[in-house]
Structure 1
Amino acid sequence: MLPAVSAAAETTSPKTYNIWQWNVAGNKLNAGSVTSGMVDGAVSSIVYRNADFAAFNELCANQWRALVTQLRAANWPDDHDNFGRFEASRTADDPDVCGGEAFGNAIFSKRPLGTADRIELPDDGTDEKRNLLCAPLLADSATRFCTTHITVASDADKLKQLQDVQGRLDAWVNAGQTVMIAGDFNVQPHYPSLDTFYSATLETGINGGNRGLFRELDDTDPVKTELPSCLGYGEWTADDKTVSQSPCKTMRKIDMLFVSEAALAGPDSYSADSLAISTACDRTDKSPDGRCSDHRILIGTATVK
């Protein structure tokens, strides 16, 4: 007979979380549809990848409701009545956006969530009110999952919003919490504006000068390009050929999975991967090739203390 494990030992045992992130272009490519194939594909991926947490950007409110319904039907959440939060960045008043539905960010958790923090970020002068959406686990308030979608209005506006997000995340980390954030940051890993996110323990030829409290789950991937290695950057996530490529000579990585370094079980306790964009969605004027999004799904695994 195995010896009993004390409650203290159980609470201090390392936990491994699978994190899933996707900017779904809910309006841009899916035109607010819940039947284009994007919602079905997202649910299938979340269930197949055994995600503990999932984050969405550019999601229409009706797509959010469809995700809730389908994730319940798939029996993914432990509590069917408490596993997701949605926060609009555009209200339901524009027929040209999501068919008049609200538009914004969402988080989901396999385990029940506590009260959400819904934080409006500094105004960028546009109609969209960007936000940071977070919630702790109900049974473990020291574990918090977040998402955000940073503006593209200007570099100055990006920096203001990034500084706001970083300040709030750092406060939770400094209070002893395990903080995870998945989202579209609209900046690349080597940009100075992320130096206060990445830990100083990440110092590579591509990504240096860091002084933050986080590791990005793909930052140890020695991306193989025409360069010998692109360590510190990670695989690309955004399929936008109208902008310059990354320093790794690939398309850009702007979607991130950050986890507070102090919470990680060790230097080899995390990893990530970006998945090819599906072309199984409806072919429309907005998506003539059937792409479900212009962003890749980003998945990661982190073992925390």
Structure 2
Amino acid sequence: MNARRRRSRHLTALLALLALAAGSLAVGSAADAATVRTKVFELNACDQFGRDPACDSTAAQRADVVASSVLTAGSDVVTLQEVCRYTYDRLLQRLGTAWHGTFFPTVTIGDDRCAPGARSWGVALLVRAAAPTNVTATLLPNPLGESERRYLLCGDVVLGTAVRVCSSHFSVQSAASAEQVTAVGSRLATHASGGGAAILGVDANIDVRACAAAAALRPLYSSTFGGTSTTGCQTGTGVMVEADQARTGGDGTYDAPTCGTRKCDYVFFTRNRWAADHRGVTTSLWVSDHRVLRGQATLSW
């Protein structure tokens, strides 16, 4: 065999190896893409022992019941409002060492609803992951001068990939909650514009089933929403999708009421990062006057 023919065969073999390597890299790149089912537990804890008959369990009882419910459901994220720091600390202890979180007080209380001498009450988030970093508590508008200030509490966590997890509690009065929704929607839109993934668990105090009231939530939703039929009555201007969605046999698009017959608690995901398989269901816990909202969706990266 002459030298020219040997060089030709060597070149052919080299090209075949390069093609094989390129194919392997392509397969590897596809395999590098990953997904994870994200499960969120949202609850207005109603830490009101001695003040509200509908929430008349002790903080210790509340923490134990919530912990059991979270673990049974296999939740990854917990967002809470109206929760005592005492309850938060006990809940974190009951969940175990795999869980971490952050708490932020919204008002100093003057009674023993939490525990004798315990006066810290506010919002919290917990994750089955390493401790949240870059934790911020953003003060929201307070046009009515309420004594309890409203905050957006957020932290960065790793749930397979980086996720911004937030908890908030909007005012009951629409004159205040509408401004708070706008502020939160703006921050989440900014985060999403850079490709970021975010979760928001919130007691919005707005019933999305009432079309006129639902208009205030437009800065959060990325598409049509609201009402009790499968056709939404509002169109959003934001970047989020809600965990709840139309299901066969339900009474419409929003069939997971959380406070009586109303729907005022929500789990939101940034639309650009979670699949359209999001859903939400509610279950009762005797420790609160709100129902637990369990939202889940598939996160990809």
TM-score calculated relative to the size of structure 1 = 0.78
Q: Which residue of 2 aligns with 1:12?
A: 33
2:205 matches 1:195: no
State the one-letter code of the partner of 2:90. A
Aligned length: 262
Structure-1 separation of matches of 2:157 and 2:186? 21
The percent identity for this pair of structures is 23
2:273 matches 1:263: yes
**Cα pair 1:32 1:63 within 8 Å, conserved:** no
Q: Which residue of 2 aligns with 1:94?
A: 110
Range that drifts further, 17-26 or 203-212: 203-212
Q: Which residue of 1 aligns with 2:164?
A: 144
Give ranges in structure 1 of 5+ residues lacking alignment.
Answer: 78-82, 240-250, 279-291
Q: CA deviation at 1:223?
A: 6.4
Structure-2 separation of matches of 1:157 and 1:215? 23
CA RMSD of aligned residues (A): 2.6
Counterpart secondary structure, 1:116? strand
**Cα pair 2:105 2:122 within 8 Å, conserved:** yes
Structure-2 separation of matches of 1:16 and 1:270? 10
State the one-letter code of the partner of 2:67. V
Distance 1:26 1:107, change over 3 A: same
Q: Indicate the structure (1 or 2) with the bigger Cα radius of gyration.
A: 2
Q: How does 1:1-305 map to 2 (within 5 A)?
A: 12-27=33-48, 28-29=51-52, 30=55, 33-35=58-60, 37-72=61-96, 75-77=97-99, 83-91=100-108, 94-95=110-111, 98=114, 100-112=118-130, 113-123=132-142, 124-138=144-158, 142-152=162-172, 154-189=173-208, 190=211, 191-200=214-223, 202=225, 204-221=230-247, 224=250, 229-231=251-253, 233-239=254-260, 251-265=261-275, 267=276, 269-278=277-286, 292-305=287-300
In terms of fraction of residues, the more helix-rich structure is: 2
Structure-2 separation of matches of 1:50 and 1:140? 16
Query: Which deviations, in whole Å up to 9, do the C-alpha atoms of 1:25-56 show, x marking residues without a partner?
Result: 01254568333x22111000111111110111
Structure-2 separation of matches of 1:262 and 1:122? 27
Give ranges in structure 2 of 5+ residues lacking alignment.
Answer: 1-23
Counterpart secondary structure, 1:262? coil
**Cα pair 1:32 1:98 within 8 Å, conserved:** no
